[in-house]
Amino acid sequence: MIGGAPGAFMGDVHRRALALSGQFSLVAGCLSRHPQQALAAGRALGLAPERTYADWAQMARAEAARPDGIALAIIVTPNDTHLPVAAAFLAAGIPVLCEKPLALTLEQAQHFASRFTAKANDMVMAYTYSGYAMVREARRLVQAGALGAIRNIQVEYLQDWLGNADSNGGWRLDPQTGGAGGCLGDIGTHAFHLAEFVSGLQCQSLSARVSRLVPGRAVPDDAQLQLRFSHAAIGSLWVSQVATGCGNGLRLRLYGEKAGLEWKQEQPDTLALSTMDGRTTHTARGGSAVLTPSFLPRGHPEGYLEAFARLYSDTARLLGGLDAPLLPRLAAGVRGLGFVEAALQSGARDGAWTMLRT
């Protein structure tokens, strides 16, 4: 693991998820950009001293040279170091699982992708919500034609933890470390990926209103977008980290010719499928009608950690030479930056329709 010292939210989440998957164990790390903190964090996690590194470039070289070197590098650093760290490990022949966004800019992501075209399948992006069992079931239903042709896609991701001027957003609110996209890069890319992942459609252009609702912010904290997808589908996306009263309100609604479908992250174990005759069917994870495998039986809630663990289980399949078609790869990371760039450009031009570049 690179970054994610004990107490860091994403580092702790990844360690719990990889353990839950039963496929990985943490054996090496450069857990902080500060050398002494990195060494102390390694000791705290029980890593062997010779595999506790103060420099991630040294770690990549050393682990690649070991006969028992790591099988996967997990990147949970601030956004500005995602690309250089990933490049070091991919160049050393070590697959990578990286937090999003892939880079600070689309240009950086495109250059990286062109450099590592041959290793594109060795780069997994941590789009967590694609790991939820009922998100994958929703995708299966769409592909099976349960909704008919998709007409409209509505997705929102609402939080409130940055709702005050004195909220501690740390590096996420600094465009030099978090990127110029602010909430668009931090959680908007999740909503964007979810919409494309479940619908099977690609967003082609968008019109955005991008705002800094808390005065003094250097990056956006709220954005509302209209979307145009392939196959003549339309939609909208609202992302906010200043939506008072919202914890982690990710919601997806799809409307097709035959039915509509809804999934909510805060109630992740059920899907609602509604038809024009007034019937709504609620399908529970783990039931006999759900083909997507579960970690736990029906009635035992699964959530965020299980979704992450499912990504790790798929990654283990990938490393074992098996197919893992639902894993988000390098191309998904590039599309996320294409979304952020188009939204910022459209917002700067008063909502002008803007094509996505990837």
Q: What is the pLDDT along the chain (358 residues), one digit of tens a residue?
A: 999 999 999 999 999 999 999 999 999 999 999 999 999 999 999 999 999 999 999 999 999 999 999 999 999 999 999 999 999 999 999 999 999 999 999 999 999 999 999 999 999 999 999 999 999 999 999 999 999 999 999 999 999 999 999 999 999 999 999 999 999 999 999 999 999 999 999 999 999 999 999 999 999 999 999 999 999 999 999 999 999 999 999 999 999 999 999 999 999 999 999 999 999 999 999 998 898 889 999 999 999 999 999 999 999 999 999 999 999 999 999 999 999 999 999 999 999 999 999 9
Tell me, what's the pLDDT at 40? Answer: 96
Structure tokens belonging to residue 270: 């059920």
Q: Which residue among 66, 96, 128 closes a domain?
A: 128
Same domain, 176 and 107: no
Q: Is 307 inside any structural domain?
A: no
In a domain, 65, yes or no: yes
| Cβ atoms of residues 182 and 221 within 8 Å | yes
Question: Are 91 and 147 in the same domain?
Answer: no
Residues 6+ apart with CB under 8 A from 180: 104, 105, 219, 340, 344
Amino acid in the structure at residue 284: A
CATH number, domain of 166, equals: 3.30.360.10
Q: Which of 173, 182, 225, 181 is nearest to 204 (CA)?
A: 225
- The reply to whether 305 falls in a domain is no
User: Are residues 142 and 286 located together in one domain of the fold?
Assistant: yes
Buried-exposed string 298-335: b where 16+ CB fall within 10 A, e elsewhere: eeeebebbbbbbbbbbbbbebbeeeebebbbbbebbbb
Q: 98 near 78, Cβ under 8 Å?
A: no
Q: Would you say residue 225 lies in a domain? A: yes
Q: What domain count does the chain have?
A: 2
Q: Which of 128, 157, 188 is the last residue of a domain?
A: 128
Shared domain for 239 and 336, answered yes or no, is yes
Structural domain includes residue 1: no
Together in a domain, 55 and 88: yes
Angle at 339 between CA 334 and CA 345, to 5 degrees: 125
Residue 3 lies in a domain: no
CA distance 127 to 345: 24
Residue 154: its pLDDT value, please?
A: 98
316 is a domain residue: no
Q: Is 276 exposed, middle or buried (0-12, 13-18, 19+ CB in 10 A)?
A: exposed
d(CA 326, CA 319): 14
Residue 158, C-beta contacts closer than 8 angstroms, at least 6 positions apart: 238, 239, 240, 243, 246, 249, 250
Please indicate, yes or no, whether residues 17 and 93 belong to a single structural domain of this protein.
yes
Which one, of 244, 297, 308, 264, lies nearest residue 16 by Cα?
A: 308
Query: In CATH, what number is assigned to the domain containing residue 123?
Result: 3.40.50.720
139 with 104, same domain?
no
Residue 314 phi/psi, 5° resolution?
-65, -40
Same domain for 160 and 262, yes or no, is yes
35 and 83, same structural domain?
yes
Structural domain ending residue among the three candidates 128, 158, 173: 128
Whether 213 and 344 map to the same domain: the answer is: yes
Please give the residue range of the domain that contains residue 177: 130-297+331-355
Q: What is the per-residue pLDDT for 292?
A: 86
Give the sheet arrangement for strand 96-98, strand by strand: 73-75, 96-98, 123-125
In a domain, 335, yes or no: yes
Token duo for residue 47: 């890593």
Residues 92 and 207 in one domain: no
Sign of CA dihedral 357, 79, 111, 122: negative
Q: Residues 145, 265: one domain? A: yes
